[in-house]
Amino acid sequence: MSKRIDVSDLNAYYGDFLAVEGVDMVIEPRTVTALIGPSGCGKSTFLRTLNRMHEVIPGAYVTGKAVMDGQDLYGPGIDPVEVRRQVGMVFQRPNPFPTMSIEDNVLAGVKLNNRRMKKADADELVEGALTAANLWNEVKDRLDRPGSSLSGGQQQRLCIARAIAVQPQVLLMDEPCSALDPISTLAIEDLISELKNDYTIVIVTHNMQQAARVSDRTGFFNIAGTGRPGHLIEMDDTTTMFSTPTVKATEDYISGRFG
Amino acid sequence: MAPAPPSERPVVRTGRVPGRLGNRVFSGISTGAGILILVILAAVAAFLLIRAIPAFQASREDFADIDFMLGRDLWGFVGPLVFGTVISSTIALLVAVPLSIGIALFISHYAPRKLAQGLGYLIDLLAAIPSVIFGLWGIQWLQPLVSPLFSWLSENLGFIPLFTDYQAPARNIMTAGLVLAIMILPIITATIREVFLQTPRLHEEASLALGATRWEMIRQAVLPFGRSGIISASMLGMGRALGETMAVLMVLSPGYLINFFLLQPGQHQSIAANIASHFPEASGLGVDVLIASGFILFLLTFGVNLVARWIINRRAEFSGAN
Amino acid sequence: MAVIAPPVPVRRTRRLPSWAPWAVLVGSLVLAALIQFLGEGPTISGVFFIGAIIFTIAITVTSRTVEGERLSKDRLATTLVTLAFLLALIPLVSLVWTVLSDGITRFGPSFLSTDMVGVFGNMVEGGAFHAIIGTLYVTGIASIISIPLGIFCAIYLVEYGKGRLAKAITVLVDVMTGIPSIVAGLFAFTLFLILFGPAYKAAIIGGIALAVLMTPVVVRSVEEMLRLVPNELREAAYALGVPKWLTIVKVVLRTAIAGITTGVMIAIARVIGETAPLLITVGIAQNVNWDAFDGRIATLPVYVYRQYAQGGPSADRAWAGALTLIIIVMLLNLVARLVSRYFSPEGAR
């Protein structure tokens, strides 16, 4: 089963600077959870704490708990590398490896980890992941071309295929459509709706309509001012959040009065 | 088929962690390499010093057997060499810096955009030419070329002590300085060019929009912006020129005097060229004396380079350009 | 009563026609040649130098009378800047020409394949085979030490280094690029003198000296290349659960490999022509020394220097050696540029 994550009292720091403070959140399995909020409110930072990518930045660290199926991701003896194999990530800008072919990009998680795989298994994995990412039909004739030869939207779907090829439990998406045109965006959104049958998905987006379209649950982040930490203001079912939010700031943000 | 029936695998495995050993080994090797660089630099200074100490402690009588010291004490021997080193480098700088500024401006602001990079490579090629070939070229090509110029200078401006009594062939400190100038041209040009290219476009356009000619724009926007870059580039070039051996060794007819007769042969010698010319035959204390002079050269260039880098780094912090 | 100012007509400065500078240039060169005829007859360099001076004065004066002071200053600046560039090309061109024309006399297969055993007096035979082998040995030793050391140091600076230590290493690597080559030679000499005593002479001493000079150059260029690798690629690999060291080896180094190769080749080209440190460490030999750990060894730059110092027919061998050296250096530079041009992955910059 894809996994549920319980976040409690999580703080994210950049050196001395507290970027996100006191987040408590439940991320349900096989749902799409959208995180919205104005720029700089810490939603992307929070997202990156869920697969321990936050601490890749020099000086950055996290306190608090993020429990996935009874196991704290920040517990002692947990290796961040192992966490990232369970919790995949798709970035804002498509970033296929420029030195690798389309096929190798999909297999990157296997190849970069020096794992051996039979040719047949590898082919099956490539086709499966690309099919799941709705890209197979477009690229099946040119798997040996470089990944950078694809269009922006195709590259982003290639990155999604690359992420699911390592068979994660959870998929994090950090504004996956912000660098794409409307048609490619639509393709990605359709894909997200399909993927939620198998994965737990958390998506950060600036686009309110997108959050409303693709997500089941929505969390709203906000900051009191620059230099202050971001907070999770409220979280609820997406329909509730967009129709009858309980907090004034949420309503203002959703109705476009700020941010 | 779906690739990833996100299975019933255990969640995050603990225990044997992939890559942790590799990470540790790899970061250990990298950090070790970094530290080794520091160790090497320290070792260079230390080993030279160990061998130089006997020379620093010896008395004039001890040096009597060393024929190339001509009966002088250590400082009487090293002093003229330091003087020769500094004066040849100064000549090189005086020639190279204005020329480099011109070349850098040509490449960054005058040459057509398409050609600029290629022209930059051409200048960089000068840096690739081995110093011994510069030495050959200095004797074979440059020396006869400047000879008539020097004799003209000496005849017409001979009342200035700098230019008195030119004697052909032109194997004097001036020619050596000119060869050095060409050798340090690429490093100075490259550094200055880099800085000029960083001039904020906005400043340049603001100047042009006010009706300035290209030259006025350069004077108003480019040169002030690049001033510290020019200074540090000059010091980098100075560092190079101080330590350059072969060109001086081959072009200059040596002497051990402190004077400003730039056009006379047999007056000056640089530390590096002196080491190269006497080292193969030296023995015992003679070797120590040469190593001691090498240690002084090391300190000299180390200091000049450190100051140059300090200026560059300080500038980089201020302008936010990196 | 309101006064409406009459529109100010746009002032038109008179400009020189575009052919004028060229006309002045031709005139200056002709004049320079005529002046030289009065003396000892024109030479190419004489015409160039005097012509340049006449042109600079003529174009400034012409421009000043027609276009006014500001534009004439601009023209003067343009002229001087262009002259500076042309002046810098003269050494490059004349140097390559001199080496070519003087080196071609002796250069050839026999020069490349014979050594100096049994060559004395005014014999024109003999070649640089032993020196080429020696240069390969010494440069090879330096490369074996510097390339891994330099690459790992650059990896430390870009991927791991932070705080004081990284800053100190960065500054000292920069300073180390300025170490005079003769000082590196003295260092290697004293190192082996203290470790193995005065009798020990071997190619490895020269190799160590060159390694001291080469390492900082490798560090700087590799560091630059690693910093060009976008951070996104590192993050993409981390997010796939790839450990940091594999990310560095398989993503960062793999992406930067073309640039690293270029940098390393240029670093080799830099040290392959070093003369002074080899002059005082490995000396010279007449025959091929196949043992890198024992005995004097000839190297190409030292060979050139020694042959030239002997004069007579040896000078021809010196020029041929110089030609060999310059061919090697230029080939290295050329191949390095081609590698960076054709093997850089798209989208990596």
CATH for C336: 1.10.3720.10
Asked if C196 and C98 sit in the same domain, the reply is no
Contacts of C243 in chain A (CB under 8 A): 81, 113
Q: What average pLDDT does range C84-105 have in this prediction?
A: 92
With beta carbons less than 8 A apart as the criterion, state whether C78 and B110 touch.
yes
With beta carbons less than 8 A apart as the criterion, state whether A92 and A179 touch.
yes
User: Which distant-in-sequence residues (6+ apart) come within 8 Å of C231 by Cβ?
Assistant: none
Q: What average pLDDT does range B99-104 have in this prediction?
A: 95
pTM confidence score: 0.89
Residue type, C331: L
Domain that holds residue A231: 5-94+171-254
Q: Is residue C316 part of a domain?
A: yes
Cα A62 from Cα A48, distance rounded (Å)? 10
**Structure letter (DSSP) for residue B62:** G
Cα C111 from Cα C125, distance rounded (Å)? 8
Task: List the Cα angle C50/C54/C60 in 5-degree steps.
Answer: 150
pLDDT at B72: 86
Residues A177-211 pLDDT 10s = 988 889 889 999 999 999 999 999 999 998 888 99
Q: How confident is the model at residue C169 (pLDDT cuts 50, 70, 90)?
A: very high
pLDDT at B4: 43
- What is the least distance, in Å, from the CA of A252 to any CA of chain C? 34
Assess whether pLDDT exceeds 60 at residue B249: yes
Assess whether pLDDT exceeds 80 at residue C250: yes
Cα C275 from Cα B246, distance rounded (Å)? 7
Q: Is residue C45 part of a domain?
A: yes
- What is the least distance, in Å, from the CA of A53 to any CA of chain C? 7
Cα A103 from Cα C295, distance rounded (Å)? 55
Summary mean pLDDT of chain B: 87
Q: Is residue C8 part of a domain?
A: no
With beta carbons less than 8 A apart as the criterion, state whether A231 and A21 touch.
yes
Residue type, B85: T
For A183, counting Cβ atoms within 10 Å of its Cβ (0-12 exposed, 13-18 middle, 19+ buried), the class is: exposed
Whether residues A167 and B19 touch (CB distance < 8 A) is answered with no
Asked if C169 and C229 sit in the same domain, the reply is yes
Q: Which of residues 294-313 of B touch C (CB under 8 A)?
A: 294, 297-298, 301-302, 304-306, 308-309, 313
Q: Among C186, C140, C150, C145, which Cα is nearest to C278's?
A: C186
Contacts of B294 in chain C (CB under 8 A): 182-183, 186
**Structure letter (DSSP) for residue A173:** E
- Chains in contact with B, where contact means 3 or more Cβ–Cβ distances below 8 Å, are A, C
Tokens of A151: 């269009």
User: Which distant-in-sequence residues (6+ apart) come within 8 Å of C32 by Cβ?
Assistant: C42, C46, C47, C48, C50, C51, C54
Whether residues B106 and C219 touch (CB distance < 8 A) is answered with no
Mutate to test the interface with A, among B1, B9, B11 (most CBs of A within 10 A): B11
Q: Is residue A150 part of a domain?
A: no
Name the residue among C73, C212, C279 with its Cβ closest to that of B40. C212
- What is the least distance, in Å, from the CA of C134 to any CA of chain B? 16
User: Which distant-in-sequence residues (6+ apart) come within 8 Å of A225 by Cβ?
Assistant: none
Tokens of A200: 């737990």
Asked if C56 and C157 sit in the same domain, the reply is no
Whether residues C88 and B99 touch (CB distance < 8 A) is answered with yes
Half-sphere exposure of B24 (CA within 13 A, CB side): 4
Percent of chain B at pLDDT exceeding 70: 92
Whether residues A159 and C236 touch (CB distance < 8 A) is answered with yes
Q: Which three-class secondary structure state does DSSP give residue A77?
A: coil
Q: Is residue C5 part of a domain?
A: no
Contacts of B19 in chain A (CB under 8 A): 81, 113
Cα B206 from Cα C335, distance rounded (Å)? 42
Q: Which of residues 166-205 of B touch C (CB under 8 A)?
A: 182, 185, 189
With beta carbons less than 8 A apart as the criterion, state whether B241 and B176 touch.
no
- Chains in contact with C, where contact means 3 or more Cβ–Cβ distances below 8 Å, are A, B
Please tell me which residue of chain A has the smallest CA distance to C343: A99
Q: How confident is the model at residue A258 (pLDDT cuts 50, 70, 90)?
A: low
Cα B179 from Cα B78, distance rounded (Å)? 23
**Top-confidence residue, C265 or B283:** C265
Q: What is the DSSP string of A88-143?
A: EEE-SS----TTSBHHHHHTHHHHTTT----HHHHHHHHHHHHHHTT-HHHHTT-T
Asked if C155 and C262 sit in the same domain, the reply is yes
Assess whether pLDDT exceeds 50 at residue C348: no
Name the residue among A99, A109, A114 with its Cβ closest to that of C240. A109
Please tell me which residue of chain A has the smallest CA distance to B13: A82
Residue type, B193: R
Q: Is residue A239 part of a domain?
A: yes
Q: Give me the total of CB pairs closer than 8 Å, taking one residue from chain B and one from chain C.
A: 274
pLDDT at B289: 94
- What is the least distance, in Å, from the CA of B30 to any CA of chain A? 17
Cα C45 from Cα B154, distance rounded (Å)? 21
Q: Is residue A14 part of a domain?
A: yes
When divided into structural domains, chain A yields a total of 1
Name the residue among C70, C176, C266 with its Cβ closest to that of B213. C70
**What domains appear along chain B, each with residue ranges and CATH number?**
33-319 (1.10.3720.10)
Residue A27: give its domain's CATH number: 3.40.50.300
Asked if C178 and C37 sit in the same domain, the reply is no
Whether residues A78 and B18 touch (CB distance < 8 A) is answered with no
With beta carbons less than 8 A apart as the criterion, state whether C49 and C31 touch.
no
- What is the least distance, in Å, from the CA of B24 to any CA of chain A? 13
* ipTM score: 0.91
Asked if C266 and C189 sit in the same domain, the reply is yes
Q: What average pLDDT does range C163-177 have in this prediction?
A: 91
Asked if C213 and C78 sit in the same domain, the reply is no
Q: What average pLDDT does range B69-95 have in this prediction?
A: 92
pLDDT at C345: 66
Contacts of B275 in chain C (CB under 8 A): 182, 186, 280
Assess whether pLDDT exceeds 50 at residue C150: yes
Q: Give me the total of CB pairs closer than 8 Å, taking one residue from chain A and one from chain B.
A: 65
Q: Which three-class secondary structure state does DSSP give residue B155?
A: helix
Asked if C68 and C162 sit in the same domain, the reply is no
Give me the residues paired with residue A34 across strands. A203, A218
When divided into structural domains, chain C yields a total of 2
Assess whether pLDDT exceeds 90 at residue B121: no
Please tell me which residue of chain A has the smallest CA distance to B17: A79
Q: Is residue A46 part of a domain?
A: yes
Contacts of A159 in chain C (CB under 8 A): 236
Q: Which three-class secondary structure state does DSSP give residue C311?
A: coil
Domain that holds residue C260: 129-342
Q: Is residue C56 part of a domain?
A: yes
Residues B59-81 pLDDT 10s = 888 888 888 888 888 889 999 99
Residue type, C134: G
Q: Among B11, B22, B202, C259, which Cα is nearest to A78's?
A: B11
Angle between helices C20-38 and C44-67 (to 10 degrees): 140
- What is the least distance, in Å, from the CA of B19 to any CA of chain C? 5
What radius of gyration do chain A's Cα atoms show? Answer: 18
Mutate to test the interface with C, among A49, A92, A99 (most CBs of C within 10 A): A99
Cα B299 from Cα B276, distance rounded (Å)? 18
Q: What average pLDDT does range A141-169 have in this prediction?
A: 92
Tokens of C259: 């640039």
pLDDT at A160: 94
Cα B44 from Cα C207, distance rounded (Å)? 15
With beta carbons less than 8 A apart as the criterion, state whether A217 and A237 touch.
yes
C57 C-beta neighbours (distance < 10 Å), count: 14
H or E element at residue B207: helix B201-209
Contacts of C168 in chain B (CB under 8 A): 38
Whether residues A84 and C162 touch (CB distance < 8 A) is answered with no
With beta carbons less than 8 A apart as the criterion, state whether A237 and A212 touch.
no
Whether residues C240 and A88 touch (CB distance < 8 A) is answered with yes
Cα B282 from Cα B292, distance rounded (Å)? 13
Q: Among C187, A108, C80, which Cα is nearest to B47's?
A: C187
pLDDT at B17: 56
Q: Is residue A212 part of a domain?
A: yes
Name the residue among C74, C174, C244 with its Cβ closest to that of B215. C74
Assess whether pLDDT exceeds 80 at residue B20: no
- Strand locations in chain A, DSSP E? 5-14, 17-27, 32-36, 60-68, 71-72, 87-90, 170-174, 200-204, 217-223, 230-237
Among all chains, which residue has been given the structure tokens 């006449």? Answer: C54
Asked if C97 and C134 sit in the same domain, the reply is no
Asked if C332 and C219 sit in the same domain, the reply is yes
Summary mean pLDDT of chain C: 89
Q: Is residue C228 part of a domain?
A: yes
pLDDT at B176: 95
H or E element at residue C324: helix C313-342
Backbone phi and psi for residue B121, each to the nearest 5 degrees, phi listed first: -60, -40
Work out the end-to-end distance of chain A between its first and last CA atoms, rounded to an integer number of angstroms: 37
Alpha carbon separation from A212 to A176, A219, C190 (Å, rounded): 15, 11, 75
- Asked if the C-beta of B243 comes within 8 angstroms of chain C's C-beta atoms, the answer is yes
Whether residues C345 and A111 touch (CB distance < 8 A) is answered with no
Q: What average pLDDT does range C267-272 have in this prediction?
A: 93
- Asked if the C-beta of B117 comes within 8 angstroms of chain C's C-beta atoms, the answer is no
Mutate to test the interface with A, among B12, B16, B23, B27 (most CBs of A within 10 A): B12
Tokens of C255: 């992406």
Q: Which three-class secondary structure state does DSSP give residue A246?
A: coil
Backbone phi and psi for residue A222, each to the nearest 5 degrees, phi listed first: -150, 160
Q: How confident is the model at residue B18 (pLDDT cuts 50, 70, 90)?
A: low
With beta carbons less than 8 A apart as the criterion, state whether C175 and B305 touch.
yes
Asked if C137 and C99 sit in the same domain, the reply is no
Contacts of C259 in chain A (CB under 8 A): none
Cα C113 from Cα C136, distance rounded (Å)? 14
pLDDT at B9: 47
Summary mean pLDDT of chain A: 91
pLDDT at A226: 82
Mutate to test the interface with C, among A112, A150, A160, A173 (most CBs of C within 10 A): A112
Contacts of B22 in chain A (CB under 8 A): none
Can the peptide bond before residue B169 be classed as cis, meaning omega within 30 degrees of 0? yes
Mutate to test the interface with B, among C175, C223, C224, C327 (most CBs of B within 10 A): C175
Contacts of A148 in chain C (CB under 8 A): 345-347
- What is the least distance, in Å, from the CA of C329 to any CA of chain A? 30
- What is the least distance, in Å, from the CA of C1 to any CA of chain B? 34
Cα B302 from Cα B195, distance rounded (Å)? 23
Residues B165-220 pLDDT 10s = 888 788 999 999 999 999 999 999 998 998 888 888 888 889 888 888 899 999 98
Whether residues C152 and B29 touch (CB distance < 8 A) is answered with yes
Give me the residues paired with residue A200 across strands. A170
pLDDT at B26: 93
Alpha carbon separation from B33 to A234, B39, C138, C217, C256 (Å, rounded): 50, 10, 22, 14, 19
Please tell me which residue of chain B has the smallest CA distance to A200: B6
With beta carbons less than 8 A apart as the criterion, state whether B104 and B124 touch.
no
Among all chains, which residue has been given the structure tokens 């002079």? Answer: B293
pLDDT at C337: 87
Cα C186 from Cα B294, distance rounded (Å)? 7
Q: Is residue A191 part of a domain?
A: yes
Q: What average pLDDT does range B15-30 have in this prediction?
A: 80
Tokens of C315: 């000078």
Cα B6 from Cα A167, distance rounded (Å)? 6
Among all chains, which residue has been given the structure tokens 């040169």? Answer: B223
Q: Is residue C12 part of a domain?
A: no
pLDDT at C275: 94
pLDDT at C269: 93
- What is the least distance, in Å, from the CA of A204 to any CA of chain C? 16
Q: What average pLDDT does range B289-300 have in this prediction?
A: 95
Q: Which runs of consecutive H residues, i.e. helices, occur in C156-199?
A: 163-176, 181-196
Q: Among A47, C162, A68, C44, which Cα is nearest to B30's?
A: C162
With beta carbons less than 8 A apart as the criterion, state whether B291 and C186 touch.
yes
Whether residues C308 and B250 touch (CB distance < 8 A) is answered with yes
Could you tell me how many residues make up chain A?
259
Asked if C276 and C170 sit in the same domain, the reply is yes
Q: Is residue C24 part of a domain?
A: yes
